[in-house]
Amino acid sequence: MWQTPPMTPETITADAAGSRRLGDLTVHRIGFGTMRLTGSAPFDLGTPSDRGRSIAVLRRAIDLGVNHIDTAAFYFSALRSANELVNSALAPYPDDLLIATKVGPFRDHAGRWGTPARPEDLRGHVEENLRQLGRDHLDLVHLRRMRQDSIAEHFGALAELRQAGLIRHLGISDVEPRHLAEAQDIAPVVSVQNRFGLGHHSPGTEELLRTCGEQGIAFVPFFAIAGEGGAHGATSAHDEELRAVAHAHRTTPAAIRLAWTLAQGRHVLAIPGTGNPEHLTENVAAGALRLTEDELTRLDAVHRKAV
């Protein structure tokens, strides 16, 4: 009698994580972040992955059902531009693909960080993303707050570009709860990106996580796998409880970190990035993991212990 073959990481696709609405598109809850394609460490630090390999990883992500790509014009190194890689690998873009970008930080052509954008600079940032991606509009643009106390003027400038048809949906990034309320007084917010992951705490982020869930806003954490490694890559320091849960599921601690993140609410999306095709497969497969209530309780204790 013919039997369905067992699922393996290589056969699991992004739909295993489930889906949710993000603006007017439905995306799978496991997406893909492009920052790591420009180097082994953030931006111009480290050695970029081979260009052909990076393009293959992007195409493989689409083959695995990923339909949410997170990128930015300021993701580049001396040899690689994330947006150019996305364009080369995926254009013409699938109809169901949502490409999210970020604006606010500024780097010159030599890669040096400059003064954060003023409100009047943001049109140029949006147009640069449009040019690099080869699009006539951007699906979703996040305003990345750069330590300013108020985001009203900057977000208002993006709202005007949305009215002009250059942007479909708006989000905010690296913010406090008060900034979400401030932005919502100007235009609808469909997504909030903040650093969040097992064992990492930043002021106001867990309040934002709850608020987004209550208001139907997507919460998209970055560095969900990295732990304390942050922008420099995934940590190798894992609590023994985390290792035990990973062992029980015959998977990696990184996969359990992703599964725990997704378990924080149906409104939570993940955008793990990698230039390694094997790690891509593992990240997508993490969307199929289902942690027990006991395991979640144990991991929640690990999370609280890190405060």
Distance, CA of 134 to CA of 275 (rounded, Å): 22
Q: Which residues of 139-167 are buried (b: 16+ CB within 10 A; e: fewer)?
A: bbbbbbbeeeeebeebbebbbbbbeeebb
Q: Of the candidates 229, 215, 230, 139, which has an alpha carbon nearest to the alpha carbon of residue 177? A: 215
Continuous segment of H or E residues that includes residue 139:
strand 138-144
β-pair type (32-33, 68-70): parallel
Residue 71: exposure state from Cβ atoms within 10 A (0-12, 13-18, ≥19): buried
The pLDDT value recorded for residue 200 is 81
Catalytic residues: 75
Sheet holding 32-33, edge to edge: 32-33, 68-70, 98-103, 138-144, 167-173, 191-193, 218-219
The pLDDT value recorded for residue 4 is 35
The pLDDT value recorded for residue 232 is 45
Distance, CA of 218 to CA of 216 (rounded, Å): 7
Q: With beta carbons less than 8 A apart as the criterion, state whether 192 and 219 touch.
A: yes
Which positions ≥6 away from 4 have C-beta within 8 Å? none
Q: With beta carbons less than 8 A apart as the criterion, state whether 119 and 103 touch.
A: no
Distance, CA of 229 to CA of 211 (rounded, Å): 27
The pLDDT value recorded for residue 230 is 46
Q: What is the residue type of 24?
A: D
Distance, CA of 295 to CA of 300 (rounded, Å): 8
The pLDDT value recorded for residue 223 is 84
Q: What is the residue type of 260?
A: W
Give SS3 for 99: strand
Q: With beta carbons less than 8 A apart as the criterion, state whether 87 and 101 touch.
A: no
The pLDDT value recorded for residue 1 is 41
Residue 79 structure tokens = 């040899």
Which positions ≥6 away from 158 have C-beta within 8 Å? 103, 122, 126, 141, 143, 167, 170, 187
State the 10-residue block means of pLDDT for the chain, 307 residues long: 52 96 94 86 57 96 98 90 97 97 88 87 97 98 94 98 98 97 98 93 89 97 71 62 95 95 96 94 96 96 83
Q: With beta carbons less than 8 A apart as the criterion, state whether 85 and 99 touch.
A: no
Q: With beta carbons less than 8 A apart as the criterion, state whether 260 and 299 touch.
A: yes
Q: What is the residue type of 282?
A: E
Q: Does domain 13-305 have CATH number 3.30.160.340?
A: no
Q: Of the candidates 78, 77, 75, which has an alpha carbon nearest to the alpha carbon of residue 86? A: 75
User: Phi, psi at residue 12, to the nearest 5°?
Assistant: -85, 135
Distance, CA of 171 to CA of 151 (rounded, Å): 12
